[in-house]
Amino acid sequence: MNKTIHIREAVAPEEVERFWQELHAYHARDIFPDPAEEDRAYFLDDSQYRAAVQRIHDREGDRCYYLLFRREGRDIGFALTALYPSEDGKCFVMEFCVLPEFRGGGTGTACARLLLDWAADRGAQYGELNAADPRRIRFWSRLGFRPNGRDEWGEPLMLRPPEQALSITVELLQDPADWQLRKLENGYLSEIGEPLLTEESTERLRAAVEQGHIRFLLAYRGCRAVGMCSVAENFSTFCCGPVAVLEDLYVEPVFRRQGIARQLIRSAQALCRERGVGSLTVCCAPCDEAMYQALGFNVPLGVSRSCLL
């Protein structure tokens, strides 16, 4: 008997309704089993979550797809996936589920591989998804996904590294409200053990960028920002002119060891020279001293100490 799994887009109205019935059941059963869960009502409300997803589904480009997995004439699972061909070929897996009665025996892995092949056939260069639950992390790790920072809301991300090599460009951030800055900041803050951005701190950050108190340089792989650093200027009486501090140096884990941090620092140094800044200082951990010395930070300034107010 043929037990091959097939994938198809839900297009007919009855298929779309089945897709949403199963998705709501999945949310209620597997994601938000506690009726008191704060986000449960939003995801089960057709006028909120479904309406938001439908807008992405119906737009002309970079849309999402309602997908169903079928084996032996029966639907055994589903996926909600968005493709971004106009950007850098990202495939974002928004939802993925094998129905409980069909789980086990490698069915989930087979469905996930089929989904990734389906996306690749449509131009996807790499996959990305949110994953916080240890079981979900283990599952997607077996398929080549690696932990890769946080998204703009602070949720953990996993990324299946792209095979295609693209050049990296470093640009000065122009939009203070750029969601990619929030994504990188959350990844950076999570890695160093600091609280993630809140709505209040995000607004303070936006205002600081807008008012020129801090400047961010972002490293782009195509349209995707994969790294950043910041330069904050101050007036120094030692040179009676502006000096600056380098902070927020961060590259997404999947894109490290490609020279991106070096590109960011070189760009920060060039920016300071263009602006007539007398010196650029970095406060670093002992394990990073050799790297920064090799990049031109070779003037010792003693030990940095801070008084937290």
Q: C-alpha angle with apex 153: 147 to 157, nearest 5 degrees? A: 10
36 contact partners, CB below 8 Å, separation of at least 6: none
Contact 89, 124 (CB under 8 A): yes
- DSSP letter, residue 196: P
**C-alpha to C-alpha distance for 106 and 143, rounded to whole angstroms:** 12
**C-alpha to C-alpha distance for 143 and 129, rounded to whole angstroms:** 12
15 contact partners, CB below 8 Å, separation of at least 6: 66, 68
Contact 111, 76 (CB under 8 A): yes
pLDDT of residue 208: 96
The candidate with the shortest Cα–Cα distance to 67, out of 4, 109, 120, 22, is 22
283 contact partners, CB below 8 Å, separation of at least 6: 245, 247, 304
Q: What is the mean pLDDT of residues 124-145?
A: 96
Confidence class for position 57, pLDDT limits 50, 70, 90 = very high
Determine what percent of the chain is predicted with pLDDT higher than 90. Answer: 83
What's the pLDDT tens digit per position in 292-304?
Answer: 888 888 888 877 7
Q: Between the CA of residue 215 and those of 23, 90, 181, 199, 209, what are the distances in Å?
A: 42, 28, 11, 20, 6
**Considering the entire predicted model, what is its pTM?**
0.91
Contact 172, 217 (CB under 8 A): yes
pLDDT of residue 2: 47
Q: What mean pLDDT value characterizes the chain? A: 94
Q: Between the CA of residue 277 and those of 41, 231, 239, 268, 281, what are the distances in Å?
A: 52, 11, 10, 11, 11
Q: What is the mean pLDDT of residues 9-27?
A: 97
What's the pLDDT tens digit per position in 145-156?
Answer: 999 999 999 999
Beta bridge partners of 64: 82
pLDDT over 90 (residue 203): yes
pLDDT over 50 (residue 1): no
Encoded tokens for 36: 């008191």
pLDDT of residue 70: 96
pLDDT over 60 (residue 44): yes
pLDDT of residue 288: 84
Determine what percent of the chain is predicted with pLDDT higher than 70. Answer: 99
